Amino acid sequence: MFSHAVVKIGILWYNIDRKAGGYTMLKIYFGEMKNTVYDTSLYFDNVYEDSWLTSDISKKMIKDIDKSDVLGSNCIQSPVLGQIAPSILSGGVKTLILMEYDDSFVYNASMCGDNCAKWILDIAKHKDLTINLFHTMDFGDGPFEIEILNTGRVVHSRSEYLDEAFKYV
């Protein structure tokens, strides 16, 4: 039996975790926040594990965001730079990999471009994810479910999200 399932209720998809009895969601805090890593690139370079880079989801994120292929845990093939070390990956992809594998901190998603937004939403489908932002990231038109921690409001569309975000950025 699966430990969780994705269920459609109305127009929203909820990821139901049967063990915890709840559902997962993306949570955003705008502005300075305790327990946040702001220099995600430097932090990643010092803590990443080889297995993080060779996982299927990391390979897909690296291919999508950096247009590069993972050859091994210490070698990535970039179309521009040739073979590179993981430390040369973009700050955005490093931040996404941290969000996926290291729950020790909240991560500054302002290190990510809008091309990372779909991946952030994807990660939040299978785990609770809290991010810190200093700008309005483009999560698309929705529908989605994002809790704005500054107010506690849950937003479901771009217009609801922007109404909340513009109060803080």
- Could you report the average pLDDT of every consecutive run of 10 residues in the chain (169 residues)? 37 39 79 95 96 97 98 96 97 98 96 96 95 95 92 94 93
How confident is the model at residue 22, as a pLDDT? 52
Show the domain range for 51.
23-165
Q: How many domains is the chain partitioned into structurally? A: 1
103, 91 Cβ separation under 8 angstroms: no
How confident is the model at residue 23, as a pLDDT? 57
Does 4 reside within a domain?
A: no
How confident is the model at residue 40, as a pLDDT? 96
Does 124 reside within a domain?
A: yes
Does 47 reside within a domain?
A: yes
Residue 162: its H or E element: helix 158-165
Enter the pTM of the model.
0.85
